[in-house]
């Protein structure tokens, strides 16, 4: 964590476009999650499906650490494939207390930005 005991939280929620895209989605999701978990500056990374939305919740030492992960390796390939696979929103913010899973879907609904 940084000196102020704050972390950067990233919440993503995706809805797969069709049943025909499920396999591609999971292939990218597993590779991206593995990359996140081994990335420098990652504190935690997890995924859950809530109300049909495939969510990720990752906590980072800083926004800089998250951005180093974002456009590299498996996650970069997932971003490139995204328009064919799913629709979704993301939200990232600095906090001293990461949300629990009971809060993630609501935060994503209220504050997420479509991409």
Sequence-ordered list of residues with C-beta below 8 angstroms from that of 100, at least 6 positions apart, any chain: none
User: Does residue 2 surpass a pLDDT of 80?
Assistant: no
Q: What is the pLDDT of residue 88?
A: 95
Q: What is the pLDDT of residue 3?
A: 58
Q: What is the pLDDT of residue 19?
A: 92
pTM: 0.91
Give the SS3 label for residue 103: helix
Closest by alpha carbon to 47, among 90, 74, 12?
A: 12
Q: What is the pLDDT of residue 5?
A: 87
> What is the rounded distance in angstroms from the CA atom of residue 20 to the CA atom of residue 41?
35
Asked if 60 and 66 count as a contact pair (C-beta separation under 8 A), the reply is yes
Closest by alpha carbon to 98, among 46, 54, 49?
A: 46
Would you place residue 1 in the very low, low, confident or very high pLDDT band (cuts 50, 70, 90)? very low
pLDDT in tens, 21-80: 999 999 999 999 999 999 999 999 999 999 999 999 999 999 999 999 999 999 999 999
């Amino acid at each position: 964590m940084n000196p102020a005991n704050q972390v950067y939280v990233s919440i993503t929620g995706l809805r797969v476009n069709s049943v025909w895209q499920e396999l591609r989605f999971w292939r990218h999701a597993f590779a991206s999650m593995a990359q996140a978990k081994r990335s420098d500056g990652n504190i935690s990374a997890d995924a859950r499906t809530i109300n049909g939305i495939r969510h990720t919740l990752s906590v980072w030492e800083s926004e800089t650490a998250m951005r180093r992960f974002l456009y590299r390796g498996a996650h970069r390939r997932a971003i490139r494939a995204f328009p064919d696979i799913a629709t979704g929103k993301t939200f990232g913010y600095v906090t001293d207390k990461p949300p629990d899973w009971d809060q993630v879907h609501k935060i994503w609904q209220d504050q997420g930005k479509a991409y």
